[in-house]
Amino acid sequence: MTPDEMVERLINFAARVGKVVDALPDTRMGRHIGSQLVRSGTSPAPSYEEACAAESRADFVHKLSICLKELRGSRSWIRLIIKTEMLTEHRMAELLDECNQLCNMIGQSIVTAKEGKEKKRYDWNAVEQFAFFNLHFSIFNGLAQARPKFS
């Protein structure tokens, strides 16, 4: 999935969250959950956009982590809506599924970005070890060839 496709999915998620919030009952609990869900449900798209413009791998991981945090918060609010029967589970099922999918994709991106950092560090160490071994082997081999051979 390209970054543009992911942004589009996150924006569609935010739009769907907005429709759910508008459908919540006008009760104290409905207003509270709606207020929280509109915040957490609309912030992943801009957070992801910021991650795409990150200045470093660490910055990228940090900004994706914020995106994931907000998606997880949204998932909790959606589950609470279902639990309190403010809206039917049937009506909320697709939004909850999309939230779970987005959490999984962003979470995997974070894991991959972190592994890339560790892999580069490991690969560099392997290169250094290989070069060190080759240097010592070359020196030893050179000394062995420089010795006169006795018949």
How much is the pTM?
0.76
What is the C-alpha to C-alpha distance for residues 42 and 34, in angstroms, rounded to an integer? Answer: 12
* Cβ-based neighbours of 105, under 8 Å, separated by 6 or more: 1, 6
What is the C-alpha to C-alpha distance for residues 117 and 60, in angstroms, rounded to an integer? Answer: 12
What digits encode the pLDDT tens for the residues 47-81? 999 999 999 999 999 999 999 999 999 999 999 99
- Exposed (0-12), middle (13-18) or buried (19+): which is 68, by Cβ within 10 Å? buried
Please give the share of the chain, as a percent, with pLDDT higher than 90: 75
- Exposed (0-12), middle (13-18) or buried (19+): which is 49, by Cβ within 10 Å? middle
